[in-house]
Every structure is written in C-alpha cells, then in structure tokens.
C-alpha cells in the first residue's frame, strides 16, 4: 500500500493537476487508500471547465516510442535532473512500504524527565549547527516534532508559539512548557536572525547555505526583546525549582543562558557595528564549556525527531537522510563561530583600506575557514548600506586607498576640493572628474572585498571574473589620467631612456594595475591551495607567480611625488615594503620554478612530457592561462615563449628534436643547463629566505596589519619555514647530483616526493601556497 506524490499534489493547491491524476485511474499499483479528500476531486469554478482527456492522452502517447523524449527547447538538463519518479522509494518522499505509517507518532505534550529535556536541547543544538554548516532545515532542525508543532500552522504571535496549540488544558510539565518551549523559541528566533544576516549578503545557495524555510516563518515578526523575556522567565522558573538535582539544574540553566547569549549576539537591533557586539560573542564563548562538560547528563530522545516530517515540508524533493553530527562536533563548530564572529569586529579598527584588505585576507586564510555566517557578518561590517567600516563614505574609502598606493597628499584627492564652488576652478573640475572615476570603480573595488569573503573555491572563481573588469578599469583610468594632467599641472619626470623622453605618473591606472596584479597572484596562489595544479604544472605556475610579482615594480614605482610631506613619507615606506614583498614573492617563486624545472629536465618527477592521445602542451597551457588570456596587460606569452621562460621542456616533443631545454633520460648525466637551473634555484631561494626574514621584522604599521598582525605574522612564519625547507631540499639535491656518473644516473642518486601529490598538505606542507618538494638522497 502506498501513497504517491500525485495524491499529495492533488490534495494540495496545484490546480491543473487534476487532469494529470486521471492517468492513475484504474492503475492497480497505486492504492489511494488515504486521505479524506478524493484524489480525483474535480476542480471547478466559473472560469474553468473540467474535461476528461484520458482517451486523447492515451492515444497521443501510443504514437511515441519507448524512450522517446518530447520536450521543448527550454527543457534542459536542469529540469531533467529535477524530475522525480513516483513510486520509487529513493525519489518519492510520499512512498510507503507495505504497512508503513505515513507519519511517525510522537506526543510532544508528554511529561519528560529533566535528563530527556536536556538531551533534546543538545540534539537540537547539533541540528542547529548542521544547518549553519550548510545543510537544509528539512534534514536538520525541522526533523524535530517540537519545532514542527511550534511552527505549523504558523503561530500568529509569540504566545501562539507553544506545543499545546489546540488544547485548552494541556498536560505536560513545566520542563516542557516553560523550559523546552523557551529554548525552542530562542532557537527559532536566533535562526531567524542568522537567516537574515546571511540572506542579506553574498553566499552560494546549497554550497554555503540553504535558505529554504519550507513555508515556515521563523518568528520573524516577533521582537528579539520579547523572546529574551521568555528566556529570562524560564531561567527564573528554573532557579526556583528546588526539586531538581543540582547538576541537572546547572546543566539546564547553562543551556538557557547560552540561548539568551546567542540570541543577543546575533541581534543587530542596536546597529550592526554597536560596540557591545564583540562582548556578546565573548559571553557565548564563556558559557560553552559548561555545555560541553555537562553533555553526559542528557538522555537522547531519538523518537522526538523524524525524517518523515520532510514529507510535509516539500513534496518535490526526494527524501533525504537526517544530517547527524556529534555534540562534540557541534560544540567545536559553535566555539569557532563565536570566536570568529567576535574577531570579525576587529576589522572596524580602521587603519586604511590596505589594512582592511589584509584583515579580510588573513581572517579568511585560517583553516578551517570561518563559516558562512561569519563571512556574511564580515561583509556587513565592511559595507553597511553606504557606510564603510562604520566610519567612511565609499568615496573617502576609495580615496584613502588611492592615497596609500599612488597619490600621497595629491590635489586629486584633497577633501578641500569639495568646498570649491567656482566652476572654472581646476579643483572644482577635478572633483567632477574624480566623482566619475569613483562611480566607475566603487562597485568593483568592493567586489574585491566581497570575493575574498567567499569560500575558497568561489574566491578563485570570482577573482577570475573580476580581473577582467579590473583590466577594463585600468584602460579607462589611463584615459582619465591623461585627462587630469592639465588640471593637476602634472610635470613629467624627464628620462632620456623612457619612450618620448618623459615619464608620467598615471596614478589612477597604476592603482588599478596594482589591484589587478594582486588578484592575479591570488588566483594562482589559490590554485595551489585548492589542488588545481598537477605536480608537473607546479614549475610553470611558480614561473607565473614570479612573473606577476615582477610586474609590481611597474605601478608602485610611479607614485606621485607632488604632495604633502607626511603623506608621501607614509606612501614611500609602504612602497618600500610592497616592493620588498613583491621581490620576496618573486624570489621564492623563481627558486621553486627553477627547482621544479630541474626535475622536469632530468625526468626525476614523473613528467607528462610524453604524448597525450588528445592533448598537447600548447592546449594544456591555453587552458591553464585562460583566466589571464583576456587581459590587455600583462600580456600572456605563447606556449613556446612560456616554455623557454620557465625553462621547461616542450611537452609532446620527442626528446630527439629541438626544444627549449632537452629532457634527459635518467641514465644520462644532467646537462649543464639542468645543473644551472639547480644553481639558479639555490640562489633565488637564498634570497627568498633573506627577504622573507626582512619581511617578518616589519612593524604592523609598515606591513599594514595593525588589526590582524598575529595572523599575518603566523602566515609569514609559515612562508619562512617553506623557504628554509626549500633551501635544504636544494642543498640535498646539489650534493646528491655531485654523485652522478660511474654508471649512476640522476634518478639513482635522488628521489623526489611532492606532498600535494597524495592530497595531504599536512605532510611536509608548510604553507598552502608554497609547495616544497622533498628530496631524498639515495
């Protein structure tokens, strides 16, 4: 006996389906033994006239071959994947096995001992965290009979949100009607707040979070303050309850207090940037340990949850398993959520846009990555309506960035310009032009911040999109730069070596170029972290990093020198540091690039430099460089140029023909060119170590990390460890290679292991962006 999807569709509110249901008529397999309403109920009104089309439908269908698909152009794979098969137990959530009941039975009004109330609270917390992890409510919280009773039918007021909804004198004790109810009300309201915060920012549905509420309302219209009172009353009630065992009482109290603290932490009624917010999160963190310590006092009441509730939530979705996580897991996740959310507020300690960007980058670089709620909270803190970091206008913020990077103390960004009212005054005209510039770039500028608030995979994909836009901005800004020269009375630097004998500052386009290069570097770096590159691609990709960081000398050196002394000094110390950072990145990337090129040229690493049945080096290179192929600058070299620049053997070219550097069979001694690569690697890595050591000594002010210095310093330390390991590896390789000869080939003297290859970064990986090969002398 079974009930099919169609029954429910008909009983529900989908008018045209009464026709469809006729197909079931007379079918022996579907027994509609269930509900009060007939599934064949005809819908009729003045506007509709029902007509039996069974015969026509059957006649038309008989003209089709089995398997023939009748579809219009809009029926895509998406639609086909969304289709469900009625009567298939894995797809039809209404399907019942013989003898199976439509719903599980559970009486939410029964008296429960305190241990079980505690157990239910803890189980709810697990499901709540599973929801924050990105699972749908239907597989988590909405499997609870208590929440189901409270939320359906939709409560009209807070008083209505209770378990005894349709009975006058309800049985059940205070533990249920006071404590558990308050806990559930608090839980639902907190979910509402989280749901709104996440929904208001950018995230990816289903991969980060599932917003579906299944037509339920999470007490959206109820004020947080009212819910707080419910929790406070429950706390008072419990405190006066002398009959309870002390330990249980403490455990229950801590849970109610946590609910209240969590609710307060998520509530933005006083303004999202309210100074009290971080302490709210701290308060949650303080209560958490008690929750964890008293977890064993609770008794699980498994039957108070049921996956069958899903049937009433969404009929067009296949039945899916309840997502269960352990209480330990939930506490760990929640602990991190509280800590990260509290930390997020540090971004409001304003010290300029570079510092804010560093903050987001290092906030996000931690493993495990902050969860979607925290990442959305961070987005709200960065830009709330038109206020940046709780204090700057959008224009002022972008001006701050220009000032930091290219325009120290320039007339172009002088706030005093805004007071000039005479249209013929150059300052007035500068304001006009700069306003145009700001309106052109502002969205794209904040899009960088938004991109680095995403999950790591999306971050890379969004940046791939965004650099194209920044390439356009750079070109447009160049025209604006030229346009503004007359107004700013810029004088070129005379340099006989330069094209045309003079150098112009191009501040706006230089700024755009700087930001674009940063994004290019991030894209490649994230490629390493996300395991996008195969071992044989690492050398080439490090060459790419080196090439992008080498470009940095370009815009940074053009900083405008017509400005106020202090601002210039600031900008110059920053440029010195930025140059050092670019140079250190380039050295390390160069070193690793040469090191991997050595392996490729001596065939030590299992290189793909053989023949692929369907591909060649050039096609693979084109695919790899795809994010950058559309850019006007820097220009992407073609494959042959790239192979020569990165000292890599051309793939698919048999070893006998000419190539950039000839690959060598293992039995041979390495060529002089290959040995030279090892020397270059050693030299670059020596420099890298020195430069990264110098970086690690920079003050937070210089490094622009005043509010994220610990994270930044930890990151630099890991890079430094990678540098040291790479230096040691090159040393080992050089020593081993000296033993080549007398019948010993290069593969007889050394072996190389690349950690990323077995997918485990923790083994030998010091920094996700810097893959250091392990060299073993044989």
Partner 1 sequence: MSHLTGLAPSDLPSELRFLQYPSSKESTYLPAIRQLISNDLSEPYSICVYRYFLYQWGDLCFMALDADDKLIGVVISKLEAHRGGPMRGYIAMLAVREEYRGKGIATRLVRMAIDIMIERDADEIALETEVTNTAAMKLYERLGFLRSKRLHRYYLNGNSAFRFVLYIKESAATLRYEDYDPELPPSA
CB 127 within 8 A of CB 141: yes
Q: Which is nearer to partner 1, 35 or 638 (by Cβ)?
A: 638
Residue 243 burial class via C-beta count within 10 angstroms: exposed 0-12, middle 13-18, buried 19 and up = exposed
Q: What is the DSSP string of 607-645?
A: ---S--SS--HHHHHHHHTHHHHT-SSSPPP-HHHHHHH
Our finding on whether 201 is near partner 1 (CB under 8 A) is no
Buried b or exposed e, range 28-56, using 16+ CB within 10 angstroms: eebebebeeeebeeeeeeeeeeeeeeeee
Our finding on whether 456 is near partner 1 (CB under 8 A) is yes
Handedness of CA 265, 266, 270, 273 (dihedral sign): positive
Our finding on whether 322 is near partner 1 (CB under 8 A) is no
Our finding on whether 435 is near partner 1 (CB under 8 A) is no
Site for partner 1 in 545-574 (CB under 8 A): none
Our finding on whether 38 is near partner 1 (CB under 8 A) is no
Site for partner 1 in 89-118 (CB under 8 A): 90-91
Kindly state the smallest distance separating residue 80's Cβ from partner 1, in Å: 4
**What is the rounded distance in angstroms from the CA atom of residue 103 to the CA atom of residue 750?**
66
Kindly state the smallest distance separating residue 104's Cβ from partner 1, in Å: 21
Kindly state the smallest distance separating residue 268's Cβ from partner 1, in Å: 27
**Paired tokens of 442:** 């502002």
Q: Which is nearer to partner 1, 627 or 764 (by Cβ)?
A: 627
Q: Which is nearer to partner 1, 43 or 87 (by Cβ)?
A: 87
Q: What is the dihedral of CA 390, 391, 394, 396, to 10 degrees?
A: -160
Our finding on whether 73 is near partner 1 (CB under 8 A) is no
**Paired tokens of 322:** 């309840």
DSSP state of 597: H
Our finding on whether 84 is near partner 1 (CB under 8 A) is yes
Stretch touching partner 1 by CB under 8 A, among 21-29, 545-553, 608-616, 721-729: 608-616
**What is the rounded distance in angstroms from the CA atom of residue 452 to the CA atom of residue 363?**
10
Q: By three-state DSSP, how is residue 775 classified? A: strand
Choose which of 59, 349, 493, 612 interacts with partner 1 (CB under 8 A): 612
Kindly state the smallest distance separating residue 545's Cβ from partner 1, in Å: 18
SS (H, E, C) 317-365: CCCCCCCCCCHHHHHHHHHHHHHHHHHHHHHHCCCCHHHHHHHHHHHHH
Q: Which is nearer to partner 1, 17 or 86 (by Cβ)?
A: 86
Q: Which is nearer to partner 1, 454 or 556 (by Cβ)?
A: 454
Binding mask 264-303 for partner 1 (x = CB under 8 A): ----------------------------------------
Choose which of 98, 99, 321, 415 interacts with partner 1 (CB under 8 A): 321
**What is the rounded distance in angstroms from the CA atom of residue 437 to the CA atom of residue 407?**
14
CB 143 within 8 A of CB 306: yes
Choose which of 461, 701, 713, 774 interacts with partner 1 (CB under 8 A): 461
Stretch touching partner 1 by CB under 8 A, among 63-71, 242-250, 278-286, 698-706: 63-71
Our finding on whether 80 is near partner 1 (CB under 8 A) is yes
Our finding on whether 320 is near partner 1 (CB under 8 A) is yes
Binding mask 509-538 for partner 1 (x = CB under 8 A): ---------------------xxxxx--x-
Q: Which is nearer to partner 1, 579 or 619 (by Cβ)?
A: 619
Q: Which is nearer to partner 1, 456 or 701 (by Cβ)?
A: 456
Stretch touching partner 1 by CB under 8 A, among 10-18, 49-57, 418-426, 613-621: 613-621
Our finding on whether 66 is near partner 1 (CB under 8 A) is yes
Binding mask 462-491 for partner 1 (x = CB under 8 A): --xx--------------------------
Kindly state the smallest distance separating residue 455's Cβ from partner 1, in Å: 5
CB 309 within 8 A of CB 145: yes
The candidate with the shortest Cα–Cα distance to 132, out of 305, 334, 394, is 334
Full strand arrangement of the beta sheet holding 387-388: 383-384, 387-388, 392-393
Site size toward partner 1, by CB under 8 A: 57
Q: Which is nearer to partner 1, 77 or 499 (by Cβ)?
A: 77
**Paired tokens of 376:** 């959305």
**Paired tokens of 54:** 């069974």
Kindly state the smallest distance separating residue 130's Cβ from partner 1, in Å: 10
Q: Which is nearer to partner 1, 71 or 168 (by Cβ)?
A: 71
CA 686 to chain CA centroid, Å, is 35
No. of helices (H) and no. of strands (E), the chain: 29, 7
Our finding on whether 159 is near partner 1 (CB under 8 A) is no
Tell me the residue length of the chain. Answer: 778
Stretch touching partner 1 by CB under 8 A, among 95-103, 200-208, 260-268, 413-421: 200-208
CB 592 within 8 A of CB 599: no
Binding mask 619-658 for partner 1 (x = CB under 8 A): xx-xxxxx--xx----------------------------
Stretch touching partner 1 by CB under 8 A, among 49-57, 109-117, 489-497, 606-614: 606-614
Q: Which is nearer to partner 1, 528 or 770 (by Cβ)?
A: 528
Q: How far apart are the first and last CA of the chain?
A: 70
**What is the rounded distance in angstroms from the CA atom of residue 539 to the CA atom of residue 47?**
71
Stretch touching partner 1 by CB under 8 A, among 82-90, 340-348, 572-580, 684-692: 82-90
Kindly state the smallest distance separating residue 636's Cβ from partner 1, in Å: 10
Our finding on whether 78 is near partner 1 (CB under 8 A) is yes
Kindly state the smallest distance separating residue 472's Cβ from partner 1, in Å: 14
Kindly state the smallest distance separating residue 618's Cβ from partner 1, in Å: 7
**What is the rounded distance in angstroms from the CA atom of residue 330 to the CA atom of residue 703?**
36
CB 629 within 8 A of CB 575: no
Our finding on whether 503 is near partner 1 (CB under 8 A) is no
**What is the rounded distance in angstroms from the CA atom of residue 161 to the CA atom of residue 154?**
8
Q: Which is nearer to partner 1, 618 or 696 (by Cβ)?
A: 618
**What is the rounded distance in angstroms from the CA atom of residue 359 to the CA atom of residue 752?**
36
558 CB-near residues (< 8 Å, 6+ apart):
406, 503, 505, 506, 507, 510
Q: Which is nearer to partner 1, 580 or 622 (by Cβ)?
A: 622
The candidate with the shortest Cα–Cα distance to 719, out of 551, 580, 584, is 584
Interface ranges with partner 1 (CB under 8 A): 65-69, 77-85, 88, 90-91, 134-135, 204, 206-208, 318, 320-321, 455-458, 460-461, 464-465, 530-534, 537, 608, 612-616, 618-620, 622-626, 629-630, 759
């Amino acid at each position: 006996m079974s009930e099919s999807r169609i029954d429910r569709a008909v009983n529900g509110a989908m008018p045209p389906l009464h026709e469809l249901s006729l197909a079931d008529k007379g079918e022996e397999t579907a027994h509609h033994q269930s509900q009060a309403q007939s599934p064949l109920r005809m819908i009729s009104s003045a506007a509709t006239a029902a007509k039996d089309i069974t015969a026509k439908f059957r006649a038309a269908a008989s003209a089709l071959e089995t398997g023939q698909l009748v579809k219009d152009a809009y029926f895509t794979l998406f639609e086909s994947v969304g289709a469900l098969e009625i009567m298939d137990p894995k797809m039809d959530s209404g399907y019942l096995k013989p003898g199976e009941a439509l719903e599980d039975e559970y009486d939410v009004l029964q008296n429960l001992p305190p241990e079980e109330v505690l157990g239910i609270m803890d189980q709810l917390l697990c499901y709540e965290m599973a929801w924050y992890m990105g699972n749908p409510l239907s597989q988590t919280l909405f499997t609870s009979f208590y929440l189901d009773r409270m939320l359906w039918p939709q409560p009209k007021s807070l008083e209505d949100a209770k378990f005894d909804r349709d009975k006058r004198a309800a049985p059940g004790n205070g533990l249920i009607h006071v404590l558990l109810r308050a806990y559930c009300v608090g839980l639902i309201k907190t979910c509402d707040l989280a749901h709104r915060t996440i929904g208001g920012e950018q995230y990816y549905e289903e991969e980060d979070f599932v917003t579906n509420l299944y037509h339920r309302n999470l007490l959206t219209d109820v004020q947080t303050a009212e819910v707080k009172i419910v929790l406070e009353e429950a706390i008072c009630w419990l405190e006066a309850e002398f009959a309870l065992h002390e330990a249980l009482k403490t455990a229950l109290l801590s849970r109610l207090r946590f609910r209240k603290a969590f609710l307060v932490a998520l509530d933005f009624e006083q303004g999202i940037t309210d100074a009290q917010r971080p302490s709210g999160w701290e308060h949650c963190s303080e209560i958490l340990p008690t929750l964890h310590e008293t977890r064993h006092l609770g008794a699980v009441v498994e039957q108070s949850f049921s996956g069958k509730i899903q049937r009433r939530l969404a009929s067009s979705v296949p039945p899916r398993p309840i997502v269960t996580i352990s209480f330990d897991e939930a506490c760990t996740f929640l602990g991190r959520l509280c800590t990260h959310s509290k930390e997020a507020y540090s971004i409001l300690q304003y010290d300029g846009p570079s510092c804010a960007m560093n903050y987001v980058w290092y906030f996000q670089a931690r493993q495990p990555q902050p969860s979607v709620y925290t990442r959305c909270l961070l987005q709200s803190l960065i830009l709330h309506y038109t206020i940046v970091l709780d204090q700057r206008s959008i224009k002022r913020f972008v001006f701050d960035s220009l000032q930091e990077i290219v325009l120290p103390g320039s007339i172009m960004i002088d706030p005093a310009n805004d007071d000039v009212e005479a249209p013929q005054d150059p300052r007035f005209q500068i304001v006009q032009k700069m306003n145009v510039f700001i309106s052109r770039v502002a969205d794209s500028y904040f899009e960088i911040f938004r991109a680095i608030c995403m999950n790591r995979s999306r971050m890379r994909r969004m940046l791939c999109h965004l650099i194209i836009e920044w390439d356009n901005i750079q070109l447009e800004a160049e025209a604006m730069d030229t346009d503004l020269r007359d107004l700013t009375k810029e004088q070129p630097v005379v340099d006989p070596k330069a094209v045309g004998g003079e150098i112009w500052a191009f501040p706006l386009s230089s700024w755009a170029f700087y930001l674009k290069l940063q994004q290019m570097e991030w894209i490649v770096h994230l490629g390493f972290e996300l395991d996008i590159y195969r071992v044989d691609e690492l050398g080439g990709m490090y060459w790419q990093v080196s090439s992008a960081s080498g470009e940095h000398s370009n815009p940074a050196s053009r900083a405008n020198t017509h400005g106020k002394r202090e601002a210039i000094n600031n900008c110059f110390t920053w440029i010195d540091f930025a140059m050092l950072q670019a140079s250190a990145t380039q050295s390390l990337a160069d070193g690793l690039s040469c090191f991997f090129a050595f392996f490729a040229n001596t065939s030590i690493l299992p290189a793909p430099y053989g023949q692929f049945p369907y591909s060649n080096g050039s096609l693979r290179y084109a695919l790899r460089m795809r994010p950058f192929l559309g850019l006007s600058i820097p220009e992407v070299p073609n494959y042959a140029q790239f192979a020569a620049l990165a000292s890599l053997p051309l793939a698919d070219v048999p070893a006998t023909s000419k190539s950039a550097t000839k690959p060598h069979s293992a039995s041979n001694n390495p060529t002089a060119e290959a040995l030279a690569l090892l020397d270059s690697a050693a030299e670059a890595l020596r420099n890298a170590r020195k430069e990264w050591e110098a970086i690690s000594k920079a003050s937070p002010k210089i490094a622009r990390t005043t509010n994220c210095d610990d994270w930044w310093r930890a990151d630099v330390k890991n890079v430094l460890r990678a540098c040291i390991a790479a230096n040691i590896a090159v040393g080992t390789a050089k020593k081993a290679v000296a033993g080549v000869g007398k019948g010993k080939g290069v593969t007889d003297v050394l072996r190389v292991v690349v950690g990323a290859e077995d997918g485990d970064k923790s083994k030998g990986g010091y920094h996700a962006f810097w893959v250091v090969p392990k060299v073993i002398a044989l």
